[in-house]
Structure 1
Amino acid sequence: MTYARTSWRENAACRSTDAEELFADSATQNRAKAVCVGCPVRAECLAEALDNRVEFGLWGGMTERERRALLRRRPDVESWRQILETAHSKHDQPRRPRAC
């Protein structure tokens, strides 16, 4: 499901989490990442951080270091939102049974 750009935050699993937990040091980042695992707007959150080159905090289940590495590997991407929405819609499509 895709949420409007302005309202995805309202559906975020972390909306009631202490913001300090999402800007944790490396020792506590794994606990913070657990909040993102089942989040319904994880892709939108990650796209926001990647498209806007957000430097700090945990966004969409990725740390600053993980996002920087991804941006270095794919510097040509203009819209992470578009890529993630396309991947999400392909993932949600029913799979066709294989022919025998």
Structure 2
Amino acid sequence: MWVEDWALRAACKNEQPDQLFVRGAEQNKAKMVCTGCPVRTECLAEALDNQIEWGVWGGMTERERRALLRRRPAASWRKVLETARDRETEQVSVEA
């Protein structure tokens, strides 16, 4: 299920923005905030679909997001990520 009001549930909602919009090795620290975030997928889709250029979103840096956008420039990332998450959920259910 897709969460429309994802920002309210984000693991970073109480973080200082300066900690998420960093450069270099500091980006790895910022990405750690995303680990286990319940709305990581929604956050990443937001950044990709709106081509947000700065900061860590959904556990990815701007460089990592640009690489995805080059591979699939016309994709609806919400649809791509939602479909992938649904498939993963179905697979886990079948294995259980």
Structure 1 and Structure 2 fold alike (TM over 0.5): yes
Question: Where does the alignment leave 5 or more consecutive residues of structure 1 unmatched?
Answer: none
Whichever residue aligns with residue 83 of structure 2, its letter is T
Which of 44, 67, 76 is the equivalent residue of 2:65? 67
Counterpart secondary structure, 1:17: coil
Count of aligned positions: 94
In the TM superposition, residue 27 of structure 1 has moved relative to its aligned partner by 1.9
Task: Decide which structure has the larger Cα Rg and report it.
Answer: 1
1:90 — aligned with what?
A: 87
For the residue of structure 2 that corresponds to 1:89, the secondary structure is helix
Equivalent residue for 1:15?
A: 13
Q: In structure 2, give the amino acid aligned to 1:62.
A: M
Between the aligned partners of 2:53 and 2:6, the Cα distance in structure 1 is 20
Structure 2 spans left out of the alignment, 5+ residues: none
Query: In angstroms, what is the RMSD of aligned CA positions?
Result: 1.3
Give deviations 1:29-74, integer Å, cap 9, x for gaps: 1011001010000000000000000011110000011001111111
Q: 2:40, 2:95 → 1: CA distance? A: 27
The one-letter amino acid of 1:87's match is A
The percentage of counterpart residues that share the same residue type is 57
Which has the larger share of helix? 2
The residue number in structure 2 matching 1:36 is 34
